[in-house]
A and B are shown apart, each in its own frame.
Chain A
Amino acid sequence: MSVPRTLEIPPDEWGRPRSPAQVPWLFLAIIAALLAGRFLLAPHLTAPALQTWATIFVAICVQALPFLVFGVALSAAIAAFVPPGFWTRALPKRPAVAVPVAGLAGAVLPGCECASVPVASGLIKRGVTPAAALAFLLSSPAINPVVLVATAVAFPNEPLMVLARFAASLVAAVGVGWLWLRFGKTEWIRNRAHHHGSFLEAMRHDLLHAGGFLIVGGLAAATLNVVVPREWLTAVAEVPWLSVLVLAALAVLLSICSEADAFVAASMSAFSPTAKLTFMVVGPMVDLKLIALQTGTFGKAFAVRFVPVTLVFAVVASVVVGWILL
Chain B
Amino acid sequence: MSQNLVLMLLGGALLRISAFSTTYVNYVKPGFRPLLIAAGLVIFAIGLLGLVRRSAEHHHGPRVAWLLCLPVFAVFLIAPPALGSFAAARSEAPPPPQVLDAYAPLQAAGATEMKMSEFIGRVFSDSNQTLKDRTVKLTGFVTPSRKKGQWFVTRMQLACCAADAYALKVIVRGVPQPTPDSWVMVTGTWVPTEVDDNATGIVYAELDATAVERVEAPSEPYE
Q: A residues bordering B, Cβ < 8 Å? A: 15-18, 20, 23, 26-27, 30-31, 34-35, 37-38, 41-42, 45, 48-52, 54-63, 65-66, 69-70, 73, 154-157, 200-201, 203-205, 207-209, 211-213, 215-216, 218-219, 221-222, 225-226, 229-231, 233-234, 254-257, 259-264, 266-270, 296
**Mind listing 20 A-B residue pairs with CB under 8 Å?**
A17-B1, A27-B8, A34-B76, A49-B86, A62-B28, A62-B71, A66-B38, A155-B98, A201-B59, A208-B6, A208-B65, A212-B62, A233-B93, A254-B164, A256-B163, A257-B164, A260-B160, A261-B164, A267-B93, A269-B95
Give B46's nearest chain A residue, CB to CB: A204
- Residues from chain B with a CB closer than 8 A to the CB of A42 are 76-79
Among candidates A30, A59, A201, A219, residue contacting B28 with C-beta atoms closer than 8 Å: A59
Give B73's nearest chain A residue, CB to CB: A34
Query: Is the CB–CB distance between A212 and B68 below 8 Å?
Result: yes
Q: How many angstroms from the CA of A213 to the CA of B166 in the assembled complex?
A: 27
- Residues from chain A with a CB closer than 8 A to the CB of B164 are 254, 256-257, 260-261, 263-264
Query: Is the CB–CB distance between A52 and B83 below 8 Å?
Result: yes
Query: Is the CB–CB distance between B46 and A215 below 8 Å?
Result: no
- Residues from chain A with a CB closer than 8 A to the CB of B3 are 208
- Residues from chain B with a CB closer than 8 A to the CB of A63 are 27-28, 32, 160-161, 163
Query: Is the CB–CB distance between A154 and B39 below 8 Å?
Result: no
Shortest CB-to-CB span from A188 to chain B, Å, is 20
Q: How many angstroms from the CA of A70 to the CA of B161 in the assembled complex?
A: 18
Query: Is the CB–CB distance between B75 and A58 below 8 Å?
Result: yes
Shortest CB-to-CB span from A11 to chain B, Å, is 16
A59-B163, A231-B92 given as contacts; is B50 within 8 A of A54 (CB)?
no
Question: Is B108 close to A, CB under 8 A?
Answer: no
Query: Is the CB–CB distance between A215 and B160 below 8 Å?
Result: no
- Residues from chain A with a CB closer than 8 A to the CB of B58 are 15-17
- Residues from chain A with a CB closer than 8 A to the CB of B83 are 52, 55-56
Closest 6 A-B residue pairs measured CB to CB?
A260-B160, A263-B159, A212-B64, A59-B162, A267-B95, A48-B86
- Residues from chain B with a CB closer than 8 A to the CB of A15 are 58
Query: Is the CB–CB distance between A255 and B39 below 8 Å?
Result: no
Among candidates A26, A35, A58, A267, residue contacting B166 with C-beta atoms closer than 8 Å: A267
- Residues from chain B with a CB closer than 8 A to the CB of A215 are 64, 67-68, 70-71
CB proximity to A under 8 Å, residues B44-58: 46-47, 49-51, 54-55, 58
Query: Is the CB–CB distance between B27 and A37 below 8 Å?
Result: no
Query: Is the CB–CB distance between A51 and B80 below 8 Å?
Result: yes
A154-B98, A256-B164 given as contacts; is B9 within 8 A of A54 (CB)?
no
CB proximity to A under 8 Å, residues B14-49: 14, 17, 24, 26-28, 32, 35-36, 38-39, 42-43, 46-47, 49
A56-B163, A208-B62 given as contacts; is B78 within 8 A of A27 (CB)?
no
Shortest CB-to-CB span from A214 to chain B, Å, is 9
Query: Is the CB–CB distance between A55 and B8 below 8 Å?
Result: no
- Residues from chain A with a CB closer than 8 A to the CB of B32 are 62-63, 66
Among candidates A50, A154, A155, A207, residue contacting B78 with C-beta atoms closer than 8 Å: A50
- Residues from chain A with a CB closer than 8 A to the CB of B81 are 51, 55
Query: Is the CB–CB distance between A60 and B61 below 8 Å?
Result: no
- Residues from chain A with a CB closer than 8 A to the CB of B36 are 62, 65-66
Query: Is the CB–CB distance between A216 and B51 below 8 Å?
Result: no
Give A27's nearest chain B residue, CB to CB: B5
Query: Is the CB–CB distance between A55 and B80 below 8 Å?
Result: yes
A60-B161, A219-B70, A222-B163 given as contacts; is B9 within 8 A of A30 (CB)?
yes
Query: Is the CB–CB distance between B74 and A58 below 8 Å?
Result: yes
Query: Is the CB–CB distance between A58 and B49 below 8 Å?
Result: no
Shortest CB-to-CB span from B125 to chain A, Å, is 11
Question: Is B2 close to A, CB under 8 A?
Answer: yes
Question: Is B84 close to A, CB under 8 A?
Answer: yes
Q: How many angstroms from the CA of A230 to the CA of B165 in the assembled complex?
A: 13
Query: Is the CB–CB distance between B90 and A205 below 8 Å?
Result: no
Question: Is B102 close to A, CB under 8 A?
Answer: no
With most chain B CB atoms within 10 A of its CB, the pick from A26, A201, A208 is A208
Q: How many angstroms from the CA of A208 to the CA of B9 in the assembled complex?
A: 12
